Amino acid sequence: MKVNIFRIGLLFFTFSLFSATVVRAQNATATVSTDEQWHRNRVDNAYMNKQISDAAEQYKEYAPIPRIAFYDIGYPKDAAEFKELNGYGLLLVSALSQDRTELPLKKVYAMVDGRQIELRQIKQVLISVPAEESRTIKTFGSYRMDALYLFPVYLRMRKAELLVDFAANRNGLKLAVFDDDTPEILKDLPKTEPAANKNSDEAINRFMKREYPGYFDIK
């Protein structure tokens, strides 16, 4: 039986601050943000590439933008899968930069109650943006990193901030701010933290292959 997989697609691109992101180019200023978007689609290269291409076209007048990050979170479909995954979902981050030294990202992390929780990276690929994607290059740069991180699902049910540190020039760039208003599709999932020292690699690999096909070959 085919199962419809739900995900909250949180595609948010950010250059400076979450609530009032400022981009300056040729004395122009713009505030940039996106809305939360619900979708059922698996996320593959074509899907993410389109988000980046569309954003590059939308904000071309502010080019060159020094750096940008997009993200998407894949969640367990039910409580049984939540348990199998040890309370994790997966976070996909696509980061682009004009400066090669800024990638790969130094770290991706959450801040909860003043405590920093660094997310564990499980896959990474560095990409030189093809020349035919000239609009993306002009707006966001030639250098891109796509990476998957284990995302503790309980963080989405707490007041938390999701941030990234670039390898150079920029720390603490906010990807998202979560509140404690649990999204409807997550209400049946436990709010427990992942158990320490529990091996769920096999289940995570299956989940990764299902939710993010086209990014990585899972062996």
Check: CB of residue 167 under 8 Å from CB of residue 145: no
Inter-residue contact 110 to 160 (CB < 8 Å)? yes
Exposed/middle/buried for 107, CB within 10 Å: 0-12, 13-18, 19+? Answer: middle
Tell me if residue 88 falls in helix, strand or coil: strand
Q: Which two tokens stand for residue 26?
A: 């040729």
Give the chain's largest Cα–Cα span.
56
Query: Helix, strand, coil proportions of the chain in percent (round to 5)?
Result: 25, 35, 45
Cβ atoms of residues 193 and 150 within 8 Å: no
The pLDDT of residue 217 is: 62
Architecture of domain 7-211: Sandwich (2.60)
Domain spans in the chain, listed from the N-terminal domain onward: 7-211
- Say what the pLDDT of residue 130 is: 87
Return left, alpha or beta for 27; rule: phi > 0 is left, psi -120 to 50 is alpha, else beta. Answer: left
Rounded distance, CA 216 to CA 197, Å?
25
Token reading at 21: 């992101």
Is the N-terminal amide bond of 130 cis, ω within 30° of 0?
no
Tens of each residue's pLDDT in the chain, 219 residues: 233 334 433 444 444 333 333 344 433 333 333 334 434 456 777 888 899 999 999 999 999 999 999 999 999 999 999 999 999 999 999 999 999 999 999 999 999 999 999 999 999 999 899 888 899 999 999 999 999 999 999 999 999 999 999 999 999 999 999 998 888 889 999 999 999 989 899 999 999 999 998 776 644
pLDDT for the residue 46: 82
Half-sphere exposure of 213 (CA within 13 A, CB side): 3
How many angstroms separate the CA atoms of 65 and 78, rounded?
A: 39
The pLDDT assigned to 8 comes to 39
